[in-house]
């Protein structure tokens, strides 16, 4: 017997919204049709003419747990995701301790298992732990990175020599690597040159466009000359210069294998905010890479829509308001965003910035493929896939207000901007957000192991090859 029947819904079909019903069994989509003639099911959901799309996959969140749980933890972060229509997240390694070995990985997995209401993957960090990368991959991390090429929160940045060695190892394992591309030398030089500058946009000038451009160029070059080039995914790409380099690299890479394959993502603050918002935001607009010019933001919207940028992620990086209440140069970098990602891009559809079809590609289908989550049933609203769904009423655009959000962080850089919030979110067939509150049980989220997870017949993880021979 099916568990759930969703009636009176609309779905996107060949560019048009058409009436549909959705049947869900064992947390998976059993079928989508104009009308089902089933009489027995556990639960009926009246979608009240709402549009149903795949729920979002956010490939870039920092939930600060373990170690910095006064900023966020797996429960508040995942509730914020669910209320924003996102039920799959990849959490990045710069927590305390960082996920750079088995101890760090196991501790984070324990916290997530206990608290997360949405499904999650855990990323593995790359520092001077080259000898631990294989172990991390075998433990089931999703992706390596973000690999910091310049200083940022958590100070995990590495030298170019280490980057080359790491990428070669990662390539050999056929794992994806996420890159935070900013050039450390340019940052240090500008920090010195501009140390007495009190301009409000100083952070953007310390880390200018050419800083990202140089780092992307260097990383592509280093990867190309590695013995085993890795699959590269550039996080939070923020400049036309970087997008052009990545587009060229995509053209150059072989479509026949993964080695050297290149993708990139953009974050909402590089689409919907710009340097002209510093006056209003002050340090609340400080993040890495920094806000760019209005012209750059307009380019990024266009590049996302035309297919040059492959995915959207939030880079949800909460800090408390009192921490942000500091001079621009010393305030921490990062903004919350997991709950506002889908509302901002869906409101963008209403404003004809994007098509709904494109939004579906960049928030679910593409991230699922890039991060290897498609093999676990994620990223597609089709039979046999997880029933991870976002339902929304296209007319329901409201101003974004921090007080309505579920993150522990009590502010948002998007205060007052238009958001189209989900009326309901389902994760594997369970309603986790009903439009008014998160109704998911703490710890219901499932771990999504990466493709490198290797276990024996008893389910015991095999960490090194010597054990295989025994």
The residues annotated with a catalytic role in the active site are: 315
Burial bucket for residue 461 (CB in 10 Å: 0-12, 13-18, 19+) = middle
Residue 42 CA to residue 121 CA, distance in Å, equals 30
- Whether 137 and 452 have beta carbons less than 8 Å apart is answered as yes
Reading across the β-sheet that carries 231-234, which strands appear in turn? 144-148, 176-180, 231-234, 262-266, 311-312
Count of other CB atoms within 10 angstroms of residue 134: 18
**For the window 90-129, what string marks contact with Zn ion as x by the rule CB under 5 A?**
----------------------------------------
**For the window 317-356, what string marks contact with Zn ion as x by the rule CB under 5 A?**
----------------------------------------
Indicate if the alpha-carbon torsion angle 269, 270, 274, 279 is positive or negative: positive
**For the window 14-53, what string marks contact with Zn ion as x by the rule CB under 5 A?**
----------------------------------------
Name the residue with the smallest CB distance to Zn ion.
Answer: 180
Of 167-175, 180-188, 211-219, 271-279, the segment contacting Zn ion by CB under 5 A is 180-188
- Comparison of 5 and 409: residue with beta carbon closer to Zn ion: 409
In sequence order, the 6+-apart residues with CB closer than 8 A to the CB of 5 are 21, 22, 23, 24, 36, 38, 41, 43, 44, 45
Q: Does residue 63 have a known ligand-binding role?
A: yes
How near is the Cβ of 210 to Zn ion at its closest, in Å?
Answer: 18
Site for Zn ion contains 378 (CB under 5 A): no
Q: Is the peptide bond before 97 cis (omega within 30 degrees of 0)?
A: yes
- Comparison of 119 and 146: residue with beta carbon closer to Zn ion: 146
How near is the Cβ of 153 to Zn ion at its closest, in Å?
Answer: 8
Q: Does residue 161 have a known ligand-binding role?
A: no
Of 115-123, 172-180, 200-208, 339-347, the segment contacting Zn ion by CB under 5 A is 172-180
Q: How many residues bind Zn ion (CB under 5 A)?
A: 2
Q: Does residue 270 have a known ligand-binding role?
A: no
Q: Does residue 406 have a known ligand-binding role?
A: no
Q: Which residues inside 131-170 make contact with Zn ion, applying CB under 5 A?
A: 146
Of 175-183, 210-218, 226-234, 414-422, the segment contacting Zn ion by CB under 5 A is 175-183
How near is the Cβ of 154 to Zn ion at its closest, in Å?
Answer: 10
Residue 469 CA to residue 457 CA, distance in Å, equals 14
Burial 75-87 (b: 16+ CB within 10 A, else e): bbbbbbbbbbbbb
Calculate the dihedral angle through the C-alpha atoms of 388, 392, 397, 401, rounding to the nearest 10 degrees.
-40
How near is the Cβ of 61 to Zn ion at its closest, in Å?
Answer: 11
Q: Does residue 92 have a known ligand-binding role?
A: no
Q: What is the DSSP string of 79-128?
A: HHHHHTTEEEEEE-S-SSS-SSSHHHHHHHHHHHHHH-SSEEEEPBP-SS
Q: Does residue 234 have a known ligand-binding role?
A: no
- Whether 137 and 124 have beta carbons less than 8 Å apart is answered as yes
Of 70-78, 177-185, 363-371, 446-454, the segment contacting Zn ion by CB under 5 A is 177-185
Count of other CB atoms within 10 angstroms of residue 168: 18
- Comparison of 288 and 363: residue with beta carbon closer to Zn ion: 288
Residue whose C-alpha is closest to residue 88's, from 347, 313, 267: 313
- Comparison of 180 and 324: residue with beta carbon closer to Zn ion: 180
- Comparison of 146 and 430: residue with beta carbon closer to Zn ion: 146
How near is the Cβ of 415 to Zn ion at its closest, in Å?
Answer: 23
Residue 213 CA to residue 321 CA, distance in Å, equals 31
How near is the Cβ of 235 to Zn ion at its closest, in Å?
Answer: 5
How near is the Cβ of 267 to Zn ion at its closest, in Å?
Answer: 9
How near is the Cβ of 68 to Zn ion at its closest, in Å?
Answer: 16
Q: Which residue has the tokens 């510093």?
A: 278
Site for Zn ion contains 180 (CB under 5 A): yes
Q: Does residue 315 have a known ligand-binding role?
A: yes
- Comparison of 38 and 96: residue with beta carbon closer to Zn ion: 96
- Whether 60 and 341 have beta carbons less than 8 Å apart is answered as no
Q: Does residue 62 have a known ligand-binding role?
A: yes
Main-chain phi, psi angles of 358, to 5 degrees: -65, -40
- Comparison of 147 and 387: residue with beta carbon closer to Zn ion: 147
- Whether 152 and 288 have beta carbons less than 8 Å apart is answered as yes
- Comparison of 101 and 212: residue with beta carbon closer to Zn ion: 212
Bind-site residues: 60, 62-64, 94, 146, 180, 236, 315, 319
Give me the residues that bind Zn ion (CB under 5 A), please: 146, 180
Residues belonging to the binding site for Zn(2+) are 60, 62, 146, 180, 236, 315
The annotation places the binding site for substrate at: 62-64, 94, 319
């Amino acid at each position: 017997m099916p568990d759930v029947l969703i009636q009176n819904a609309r779905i996107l079909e060949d560019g048009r919204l058409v009436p549909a019903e959705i049947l869900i069994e064992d947390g998976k989509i059993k079928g989508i049709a104009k009308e089902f003639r089933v009489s027995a099911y556990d639960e009926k959901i009246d979608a009240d003419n709402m549009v149903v799309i795949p729920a979002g996959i956010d490939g870039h969140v920092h939930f600060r747990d373990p170690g910095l749980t006064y900023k966020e933890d797996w429960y508040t972060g995942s509730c914020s995701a669910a209320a924003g229509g996102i039920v799959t997240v990849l959490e990045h390694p710069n927590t305390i301790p960082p996920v750079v070995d088995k101890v760090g990985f196991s501790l984070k997995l324990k916290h997530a298992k206990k608290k997360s209401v949405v499904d999650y993957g855990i990323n593995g960090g790359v520092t001077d732990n080259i000898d631990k990368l294989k172990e991390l991959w075998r433990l089931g991390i999703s992706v390596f990175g973000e690999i910091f090429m310049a200083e940022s929160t958590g100070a995990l940045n590495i030298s170019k020599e280490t980057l080359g060695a790491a990428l070669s190892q990662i390539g050999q394992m056929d794992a994806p690597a996420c890159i935070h591309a900013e050039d450390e030398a340019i940052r240090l030089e500008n920090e010195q040159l501009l140390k007495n500058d009190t301009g409000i946009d100083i952070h953007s000038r310390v880390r200018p466009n050419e800083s990202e451009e140089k780092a992307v160029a260097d990383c592509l070059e280093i990867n190309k000359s590695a013995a085993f080039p890795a699959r590269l995914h550039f996080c939070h790409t923020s400049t036309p210069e970087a997008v052009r380099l990545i587009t060229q690299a995509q053209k150059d890479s072989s479509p026949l294998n993964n080695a050297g394959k290149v993708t990139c993502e953009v974050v909402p603050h590089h689409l919907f905010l710009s340097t002209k918002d510093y006056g209003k935001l002050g340090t609340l607009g400080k993040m890495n890479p920094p806000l760019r010019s209005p012209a750059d933001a307009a380019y990024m919207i266009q590049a996302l829509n035309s297919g040059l940028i492959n995915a959207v992620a939030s880079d949800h990086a909460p800090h408390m308001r009192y921490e942000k209440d500091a001079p621009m140069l010393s305030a921490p970098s990062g903004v919350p965003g997991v709950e506002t990602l889908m509302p901002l891009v869906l409101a963008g559809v209403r404003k004809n910035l994007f098509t709904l079809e494109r939004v579906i590609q960049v928030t679910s289908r593409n991230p699922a493929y890039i991060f290897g989550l498609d093999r676990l049933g994620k990223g597609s609203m089709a039979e046999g896939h997880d029933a991870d769904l976002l339902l929304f009423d296209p007319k329901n655009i409201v101003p974004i207000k921090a007080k309505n959000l579920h993150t522990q962080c009590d502010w948002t850089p998007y205060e007052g901007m238009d958001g189209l919030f989900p009326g309901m979110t389902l994760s594997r067939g369970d309603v986790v957000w009903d439009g008014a509150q998160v109704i998911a049980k703490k710890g219901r989220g499932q771990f999504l192991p990466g493709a490198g997870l290797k276990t024996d017949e008893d389910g015991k993880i095999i960490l090194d090859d010597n054990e295989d021979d025994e």
